[in-house]
């Protein structure tokens, strides 16, 4: 099994995906263990002094003015975990929790948190054992980081609360730790706070969304090309020299992908035949501009993710010169903004795909295709309601595009009076990404059927490869009405697994 070694300088998005989704093992580097020990020596020295130090010998948040005596400090660290583990609602997905835990371990290993090496080792042991704390949907305001979700993870390290074992069964965390020979941690000064203060949940969901969207944006380029073929559109608008005079890199990449899929098509270029038209509709002609803008949004979000993956997010932090200083680096605004920005781009990509689908089904605009791509229109309804489903998904995408990061709500007796809502932005983006896959699946279903109804015209080799692959995956072609939900589910699975892109690439080579 692949192993990810965590050092002091952060991790990569690929590391997050390997641990969260592929179950990669986690190890601490010697450098990280040394940095953990050195920072802990600083915290222990400060804890022995009579002067109060925030996070070491004081309360937290609005209660930071109280100096905590040495005999109560272990209890203080336990209490902050227990009291902050206050999430409610449905359980969060296993991959999200694993990403959350791994990214907190990444910050702990930076040597900026003051956590002992044995706590970090226990975090790695829990991940490697396949134990997943039960984390709930609601509880994080994204400042000070993802407090409630991280608290539920810290509770598992203490052997308390509930967790899911590697077999998928939820049981008391203490039992699971004992079965895997893991000793629960007994938290000392600063450690409880250090395990809770971070943007790890929202960052993990950003990294996974970017990976999923990389596949979905390529998929949307393929379905846009298929629709252009089915509508007998012109691929002249995809010429590289046209996109070079508006040099947005995402736009050029999308146009190049579409052009590669359409290479050798016998359907494009017939826009002057029976029903002459000067230009294709915006949803077809402007596909690279819309998808390209989304790609450039992803590039910006990826840059933010890279910076955050290299960050040590905690409060207070241990500096190399021995100071322990408070700061606001736990605020999730940088991550929250791009999560919301991506939701806007996703909604627009879904919207333009739905408009193309509707055009395929409308006999007044489809240039000779049967109404709703039905076998016997009137007796058969064809894909009429598949488009309804797609439209409902797009309506939801638009609602999910409303930014969470503009909706700060004060907490902690006005001490935390401006929060990022980044966790909420991440949660709604996950839903949006799921729905986008379904929207693209409906366009794929309609476009492949429409191409097959163009008798006497030969699709591009890449289009033919896609049609053959999607039919082999159980998505049926033209014919009388049948139970559509299984076909749509199979098309969704085909898109989501990356098989649509893979099928096109058997002809085009790697898409951009």
Residue 287 to residues 91, 251, 291, Cα–Cα distance (Å): 37, 9, 6
Residue 158 to residues 126, 152, 163, 176, 251, Cα–Cα distance (Å): 11, 10, 12, 12, 50
Sorted by sequence, the CB contacts under 8 Å of residue 358 that are 6+ apart come out as 387, 391
- The verdict on whether omega for the bond into residue 144 sits within 30 degrees of 0, i.e. cis, is yes
Question: How many other C-beta atoms lie within 10 A of the C-beta of residue 412?
Answer: 16
Q: Taking a C-beta distance cutoff of 8 angstroms, is the pair 305, 206 a contact?
A: yes
End-to-end Cα spacing for the chain: 29
Residue 318 CA to residue 329 CA, distance in Å, equals 13
Residues serving a catalytic function are 54
Q: Taking a C-beta distance cutoff of 8 angstroms, is the pair 132, 97 a contact?
A: yes
The pair of structure tokens assigned to 357 is 């689908």
Q: Is 304 helix (H, G, I), strand (E, B) or coil?
A: helix
Strand 3-6 versus strand 25-28 pairing type: parallel
Residue 323 to residues 39, 291, 305, Cα–Cα distance (Å): 10, 48, 28
Q: What are phi and psi of 292, to 5 degrees?
A: -65, -40
DSSP string, 75-142: HHHHHHHHHH---EEEEPPHHHHHHHHHHHHHHHTTT-S---HHHHHHHHHHHHTT-EE--EEE---S
The DSSP bridge partners found for residue 380 are 377
Q: In the chain, how long is the greatest CA-to-CA distance?
A: 90
Q: Taking a C-beta distance cutoff of 8 angstroms, is the pair 397, 350 a contact?
A: yes
Q: Which of 77, 54, 58, 63 is CA-nearest to residue 413?
A: 63
Q: Taking a C-beta distance cutoff of 8 angstroms, is the pair 254, 248 a contact?
A: no
Within its chain, how far is the Cα of 344 from the centroid? 14
Residue 244 CA to residue 261 CA, distance in Å, equals 20
Residue 254 CA to residue 266 CA, distance in Å, equals 21
Q: What does the angle CA 281 – CA 395 – CA 289 come to, to the nearest 5 degrees?
A: 35
Residue 504 CA to residue 482 CA, distance in Å, equals 27
């Amino acid at each position: 099994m692949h192993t990810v070694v965590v050092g002091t300088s952060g991790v990569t998005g690929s590391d997050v995906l390997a641990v969260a989704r592929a179950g990669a093992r986690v190890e601490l580097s010697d450098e990280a263990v040394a940095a953990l020990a050195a920072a802990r020596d600083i915290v222990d020295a400060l804890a022995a002094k009579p002067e109060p130090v925030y996070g070491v010998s004081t309360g937290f948040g609005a209660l930071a003015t109280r100096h905590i005596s040495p005999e109560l400090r272990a209890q203080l660290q336990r209490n902050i975990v227990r009291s902050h583990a206050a999430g409610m609602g449905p359980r969060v997905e296993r991959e999200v929790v694993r990403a959350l835990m791994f990214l907190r371990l990444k910050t702990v290993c930076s040597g900026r948190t003051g956590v002992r090496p044995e706590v970090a080792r226990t975090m790695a042991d829990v991940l490697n054992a396949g134990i997943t704390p039960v984390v709930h949907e609601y509880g994080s305001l994204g400042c000070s980081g993802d407090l409630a979700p991280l608290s539920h993870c810290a509770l598992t390290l203490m052997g308390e609360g509930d967790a899911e074992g590697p077999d998928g069964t939820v049981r008391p965390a203490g039992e699971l730790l004992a079965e895997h020979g893991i000793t629960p941690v007994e938290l000392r000064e600063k450690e409880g706070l250090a395990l809770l203060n971070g943007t790890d949940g929202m960052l993990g969901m950003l990294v996974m969304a970017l990976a999923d969207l990389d596949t979905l944006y390529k998929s949307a380029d393929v379905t846009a090309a298929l629709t252009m073929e089915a509508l007998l559109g012109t691929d002249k608008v995809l010429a590289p020299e046209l996109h070079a005079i508006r040099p947005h890199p995402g736009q050029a990449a999308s146009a190049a992908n579409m052009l590669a899929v359409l290479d050798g098509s016998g359907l494009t270029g017939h826009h002057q035949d029976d029903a002459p038209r000067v230009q294709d509709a915006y949803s077809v002609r402007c596909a690279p501009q819309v998808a390209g803008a989304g790609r450039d949004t992803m590039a910006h979000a990826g840059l933010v993710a890279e910076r955050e993956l290299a960050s040590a997010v905690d409060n207070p932090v241990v500096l190399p010169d021995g100071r322990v200083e408070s700061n606001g680096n736990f605020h999730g605004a940088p991550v929250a903004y791009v999560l919301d920005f991506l939701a806007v781009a996703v909604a627009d990509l879904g919207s333009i795909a739905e408009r193309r689908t509707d055009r395929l089904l409308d006999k007044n605009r489809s240039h000779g295709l049967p109404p709703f791509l039905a076998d016997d229109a009137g007796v058969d309804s064809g894909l009429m309601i598949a488009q309804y489903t797609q439209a409902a998904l797009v309506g939801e995408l638009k609602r999910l595009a409303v930014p969470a990061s503009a909706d700060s709500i004060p907490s902690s007796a006005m001490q935390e009076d401006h929060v990022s809502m980044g966790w909420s932005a991440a949660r709604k983006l996950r839903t949006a990404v799921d729905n986008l896959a379904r929207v693209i699946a409906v366009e794929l279903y309609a476009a492949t059927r429409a191409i097959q109804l163009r008798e006497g015209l030969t699709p591009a080799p890449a289009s033919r490869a896609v049609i053959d692959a999607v039919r082999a995956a159980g998505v049926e072609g033209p014919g009388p009405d049948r139970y559509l939900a299984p076909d749509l589910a199979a098309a969704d699975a085909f898109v989501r697994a990356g098989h649509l892109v893979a099928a096109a690439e058997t002809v085009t080579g790697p898409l951009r």
